Structure 1
């Protein structure tokens, strides 16, 4: 068990908490941090979710569980409702071990349309964190794919000026307030696009707060079909009218968006 650990802040990614531990422990070599936290020098850090949670729980003590870490300090709840019950069980098993196949199960590897290759932050959230906690940290909601605005302050997210792809694979990036741009001045965006992006950010944040075992693909699929039937987008034989659904979707969002 670790003699101390930098307990995660509200909605902080586990990755970020470990990055802070590395900083406060005084370790120079990231492999030393890996060994202390994971009892292994070969773990590859992952920003969005992570792995070896069973070891983490042993190291942190009785205040944490695999489920609580997964639910409160990873982006997993964003995907959980859309996974089958069986896939949810497989993923829970994945994160307790080495996490191999984890992102394939989530579909993140195949569908990287909006994949972020950088760490993001909201300047107002960061300023508030510095005031309240004395330091900024990585909020999980700001790392969600396809989300470019803060759900709380309705500001466009900024990129942290450290490119993860240019760092060592075992390095944990910690937000340094000296590297943050806390200006609230925003780039000019079309108002109708901005409104949609803010609405999506708010919905995404709501998903993060849903208990990870409340919904599954089976129940969500049923709800979708009820809604499709209400909009006459499904046939009497329970087949989706895909062309009509496609046209309806296109009419909802402007082409440029």
Structure 2
């Protein structure tokens, strides 16, 4: 099986590219050059929120580079088209993708793909979403489980690409193992590492005709960018000092497990 990857350019995205490239299955790669990873705090914040904002994104950058050491570049010789956000859905990208040969397309960390680009992708085209769908669709979806005091609901979803955001049939949920000392960003990074490992196993274990798709059911939520404001960080950092995982493992928080869909369900019986 040969795959086309459409990913962002941050270390977490390139970790996935390198893990799959090690298996010799990546035929081509479209890389969207993403924005700076450490944003500046917005103006007019109270001092507590300004400091939390700086801490939150500095910690995210530190965790990203600690967990994904050496993944600031693609380590393998893969045909690659680097594009800006404006070029992602342009004719140049569509023509380049059309010229490549692959069986499966997988997107991760890119902005929304246009219908025109989706139309030139094969029947089997997947997206990797940083959040457990359908409960955490949209934006900031590895943060909200912590805000809801459900760190065990922080995971990743592999699902069919669709015109509707994060709504396609599910292939697999990946959830990392929680360990004492894990902060919010550690869990987010471990979720990426887990889904990269799971995806590699899926692609080397099953043919596309063997993949089972599960429609998304239930009343999940589409979290939009404006749902999150810096003041939400007070709960994670000032109330809990980013020790929500420790509190959960100590049994001080309710343990309600998400209904996970696994691509390996038949193997596990």
TM-score by length of 1: 0.25
TM-score by length of 2: 0.24
- Structure whose residues are more often strand by fraction: 2
Task: Compare CA radii of gyration and give the structure with the larger one.
Answer: 1
